[in-house]
Amino acid sequence: MTGKTLMHTQPAHTEVELTRSAEAIAELEQAFQAKIDADIKIEPKDWMPQAYRQSLVRQISQHAHSEIVGMLPEGNWLTRAPSLGRKLILLAKVQDEAGHGLYLYSAAETLGASREALIEALHAGKAKYSSIFNYPTLTWADVGAIGWLVDGAALINQIPLCRCSYGPYARAMRRICKEESFHQRQGYEIMLTLCRGTAAQKRMAQDALNRWWWPSLMMLGPPDAESSHTQQSMRWKIKRHTNDALRQKFVDQSVPQADYLRLAPPDPKLKWNEQTGHYEFGAIDWNEFWRVLKGDGPCNRERIEARRRAYDEGRWIREAALAFGAKQARRARGAD
Amino acid sequence: MNQRQALYEYLLRLGDNALILGQRLTEWIGHAPALEEELGSANIALDLIGQARGWLAYAGAVEGTGRDEDALALQRDVLDFRNALLVEQPNGHYGDTIARQYLFDAFHYPLLEALSGCADQYIAAIAAKSCKEAGYHRRRSAEWMIRLGDGTAESHAKLQRSVDTLWPYTGELFAMDEIDRTLQSAGVAADLAGVGRTWDEDVAHTLKTATLQRPAAGWMQSGGKQGRHSEQLGYILAEMQFLPRAYPDAHW
């Protein structure tokens, strides 16, 4: 990004900030936290601490980027879906993800960020997106596994966000969660069909579970001890539960679903603990998580390259649309 | 050729046009020039593939050998496809895709409008539903033709070239053969000459508004409707039909 920052369309009232006294700011912060504690939503025009704004822009834009990059692994099977019905369902699903990206970029815009700047940060490798989309989709079963596990983990992450303190984000999440829940059931239904099918189909299904299981567990974020944003985000009610609590919930939910499919998650240490009422599971390879996050997953380069190419090759189209819009406006004013 | 065979062929033409163009559009998903275009392209692909299901399901019923829409879409080879050459042409850049879409939509809408009043009640019903969708498709692609034609110098030059390249594939859309004539006498097929007059007017208006030149009359390619395709279709089918071909005993 040259000469641009993510916040270049910052609303004017934050500039007033510089002239406020420390006491005045402390008072505003207190009132802000009191609202949060009383579960009153923060709206775009309300005063908010700069760090709250930045934290939300980071989180919402990461989420938006994940939706857009996430279109690629599933989009990889759009042209090869095994029936017309499956093609339509997958197409509608990937389209929903584009729609989620749109609402989320719009939610980020209410905080003063611009869609274009956020996208450029993604392309420049400065913004993150969910690491799971750096894994490849090798067979049709991956489309099922992504719906079941990846959308399942996403939902567990996202349902609490429907109660997030920032109004526009919470409202976007309510709609997104409804659609994600539908996607998850569709994914599971693909798995069910495969598991009731031929030996080759069952093999595909088990192989997809083997490859997506651990990355899905990692999707709930680093362990609480290493999560840099958790504490502050919880105080601001941007985040409602810790990563480890959400991960346990995901495992507890997914293991019986795998049992029903007669598939085995690739974890020899997985076992039900009668006393805690939870499943115990083996150690997660966090080295893999950090490695993929830092850019060395199987598909990091091609995912960003695909996004960048689409954006660069589409530039003349966007420019033409803008130029035409400007011409129309001039004509309407009678200048042409 | 009896009327039943003609009807089967005719339904394949309608279904294969929608299927192959829809398949082409799905290639864009994840790679379109803007998020709004991801949504728009996906919408049109959804409509077209949905329409293809309707036409091909009916074609299967008319054929009467137990093939359903998936068998027809995913287990026929090139020689048995009946789509026009225009819809199988490569996506190219987004302007190429828009030009291909508009030249097709300007044909598709009046065709479906004519078929809405068809003597065959199934065709009339599918056409009436599809016609609403095609009306929206035509409006959208015409708007893009105008934006790109009358946008920047670069977009103008690119789109003119797209139109010039695709133009030779438009003649086939309006060529009547024995299948059309057999069905037309039964009040089933649309009069393609009438559809062609509507297309002409629409295209003339859109090109003019878009400040584009109508290409000079020249040789028109044909054959798709009779199963003589370009090299493109084989690759489309190889990709689209991969799973059912590789696992013939599987249900998905």
* Sequential pLDDT tens for chain A (336 residues): 333 445 544 444 555 666 788 889 999 999 999 999 999 999 999 999 999 999 999 999 999 999 999 999 999 999 999 999 999 999 999 999 999 999 999 999 999 999 999 999 999 999 999 999 999 999 999 999 999 999 999 999 999 999 999 999 999 999 999 999 999 999 999 999 999 999 999 999 999 999 999 999 999 999 988 877 777 888 888 888 899 999 999 999 999 999 999 999 999 999 999 999 999 999 999 999 999 999 999 999 999 999 999 999 999 999 999 999 999 999 999 865
Mark yes or no for CB contact A75/B29 under 8 Å. Answer: yes
Q: Can you list the domains of chain B with their CATH numbers?
A: 3-246 (1.20.1260.10)
Mark yes or no for CB contact A323/B252 under 8 Å. Answer: no
Quick one: pLDDT at residue A115?
Answer: 94
Task: Identify the residue among B31, B36, B101 best suited for mutation to test binding to A, counting A beta carbons within 10 A and taking the highest.
Answer: B31
- Nearest chain A residue to B53 by CA distance is A84
Q: How many CB atoms lie within 10 A of CB A312?
A: 11
Contact by Cβ (8 Å): B149, B211: yes
CA distance B237 to chain A (A): 9
Strand-pair partners of A218: none
Tokens of B90: 């490569």
CA distances from A130 to A8, A100, A198, A220, B60 (A): 25, 14, 33, 10, 44
B155-178: average pLDDT? 98
Mark yes or no for CB contact A201/B250 under 8 Å. Answer: yes
Share of chain B above pLDDT 90, in %: 99
Q: To the nearest whole number, what is the mean pLDDT of chain B? A: 97
Contacts of B35 in chain A (CB under 8 A): 68, 98, 101-102, 105
Angle between helices A167-195 and A84-109 (to 10 degrees): 160
The answer to whether residue B144 scores a pLDDT higher than 80 is: yes
Mark yes or no for CB contact A198/B250 under 8 Å. Answer: yes
CA distance A94 to chain B (A): 8
Quick one: pLDDT at residue B143?
Answer: 98
Contact by Cβ (8 Å): A301, B132: no
The answer to whether residue B154 scores a pLDDT higher than 90 is: yes
Tokens of B93: 């850049």
Collapsed DSSP state (helix, strand, coil) of residue B212 = coil
CA A29 to chain centre: 29
Taking only the tens place, the pLDDT of each residue in A175-206 is 999 999 999 999 999 999 999 999 999 999 99
**Whose structure tokens read 């290493």?**
A226
CA distance B5 to chain A (A): 24
Quick one: pLDDT at residue A336?
Answer: 53
CA torsion sign for A214, A215, A221, A225 is positive
Q: Which residues of A, range 81-100, sit inside 8 Å of B by Cβ?
A: 81-88, 91-92, 94-95, 98-99
CA distances from B6 to B55, B114, B188 (A): 14, 18, 10
pTM: 0.94
Contacts of B147 in chain A (CB under 8 A): 320-321, 324
Mark yes or no for CB contact A91/B152 under 8 Å. Answer: no
- Amino acid identity, position A169: Y
**Of residues A72, A83, A105, nearest to B30 (C-beta):** A72
Q: How many CB atoms lie within 10 A of CB B192?
A: 20
Share of chain B above pLDDT 70, in %: 100
Tokens of B5: 């065979």
Tokens of A305: 């390259």
Contacts of A139 (CB under 8 A, 6+ apart): A204, A207, A208
Quick one: pLDDT at residue B249?
Answer: 95
Q: Which of B103, B91, B96 is nearest to B174 (CA)?
A: B103
Quick one: pLDDT at residue A38?
Answer: 95
DSSP A228-250: SSHHHHHHTTS--S-HHHHHHHH
**Of residues B35, B43, B93, nearest to A313 (C-beta):** B93
Q: Which residues of A, range 155-194, sit inside 8 Å of B by Cβ?
A: 193-194
**Whose structure tokens read 């939610």?**
A107
8-state DSSP, A271: E
How many CB pairs lie under 8 A apart between chains A and B?
A: 140
Quick one: pLDDT at residue A17?
Answer: 64
- Nearest chain A residue to B251 by CA distance is A197
CA A68 to chain centre: 9
The answer to whether residue B204 scores a pLDDT higher than 60 is: yes
ipTM of the complex in this document: 0.97
**Of residues A84, A197, A311, nearest to B250 (C-beta):** A197
Q: Which of B79, B80, B56, B78 is nearest to B68 (CA)?
A: B56
Q: Is A268 on the interface with B (CB under 8 A)?
A: no
**Of residues B35, B147, B251, nearest to A321 (C-beta):** B147
Mark yes or no for CB contact B252/A83 under 8 Å. Answer: yes
Collapsed DSSP state (helix, strand, coil) of residue A280 = strand
Tokens of A229: 């944003």
8-state DSSP, B214: P
Contacts of A247 (CB under 8 A, 6+ apart): A217, A220, A221
Contacts of A320 in chain B (CB under 8 A): 147-148, 151-152, 154-155
Tokens of B86: 């225009």
Quick one: pLDDT at residue A8?
Answer: 46
Mark yes or no for CB contact A316/B155 under 8 Å. Answer: yes
Q: Which of A10, A9, A173, A11 is nearest to A103 (CA)?
A: A173
Contact by Cβ (8 Å): A132, A204: no
CA distance A61 to chain B (A): 14
